């Protein structure tokens, strides 16, 4: 599944769409994202030594789990509801390709608990457990400031 197909499942758009490809492999979603170097989150993090922020690595994993949630996403918007046991082990930098694996470990009402990890080459960059709340679209739309 390429970026255009991913956009049919999740509401994220550039510059916040952080997955290039997603594939289903049994009970696992496998996704990739290549850090280009011009992303908004690298500006100032850190000058002369750009590193993908840890929370962005977690977001990449959550977006990478989209294929696992495919049927559950109809009429819903996914929101982060929690992160547990998250460990950052290896930085991701411009030019690095992140290989993500995610698996559903529990589904409880609107909450989906996932276990995910991302690698840079053969080194684990991040791992953890993530909770996603699937909120009805009509309840997820807020008013814009203006």
CA trace torsion 106, 107, 109, 113 (10° rounding): 70
Domain that holds residue 49: 3-140
Q: What pLDDT does residue 26 have?
A: 87
Predicted local confidence at residue 22, as pLDDT:
95
Say what the pLDDT of residue 106 is: 96
Position 74 in a domain: yes
pLDDT at residue 146, as a whole number: 46
In a domain, residue 145? The reply is no
What pLDDT shows up at residue 38? Answer: 96
pTM: 0.92
pLDDT of residue 9: 86
- The whole-angstrom distance between residue 34's C-alpha and the CA centroid of its chain comes to 13
pLDDT for the residue 25: 87
Just list the catalytic residues.
45
Give backbone dihedrals phi and psi of 121, rounded to 5 degrees, phi first: 65, -130
In a domain, 106, yes or no: yes
Cα separation, 63 vs 3, whole angstroms? 11
Asked if residue 93 belongs to a domain, the reply is yes
In a domain, 146, yes or no: no
Q: Report how many domains make up the chain.
A: 1
CATH number for the domain spanning 20: value is: 3.10.129.10
Specify if 95 maps to a domain: yes
pLDDT of residue 143: 56
Residue 37 placed within a domain: yes
Q: Tell me the average confidence (pLDDT) per consecutive run of 10 residues in the chain, 146 residues long.
A: 91 94 93 97 95 97 91 91 97 98 96 98 98 92 57
């Amino acid at each position: 599944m390429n970026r255009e197909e991913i956009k049919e499942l999740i509401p994220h758009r550039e510059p916040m769409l952080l997955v290039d490809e997603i594939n289903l492999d049994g009970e696992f979603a496998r996704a990739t994202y290549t850090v280009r170097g011009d992303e908004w989150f690298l500006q100032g993090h850190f000058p002369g030594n750009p590193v993908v922020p840890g929370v962005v690595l977690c977001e990449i994993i959550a977006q990478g789990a989209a294929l696992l949630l495919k049927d559950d996403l109809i009429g819903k918007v996914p929101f982060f509801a929690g992160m547990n046991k998250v460990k950052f082990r290896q930085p991701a930098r411009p030019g690095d390709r992140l290989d993500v694996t995610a698996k559903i470990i529990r589904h409880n009402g609107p909450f989906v608990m996932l276990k995910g990890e991302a690698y840079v080459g053969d080194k684990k960059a991040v791992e953890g457990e993530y909770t996603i709340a699937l909120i009805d679209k009509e309840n997820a739309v807020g008013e814009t400031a203006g």
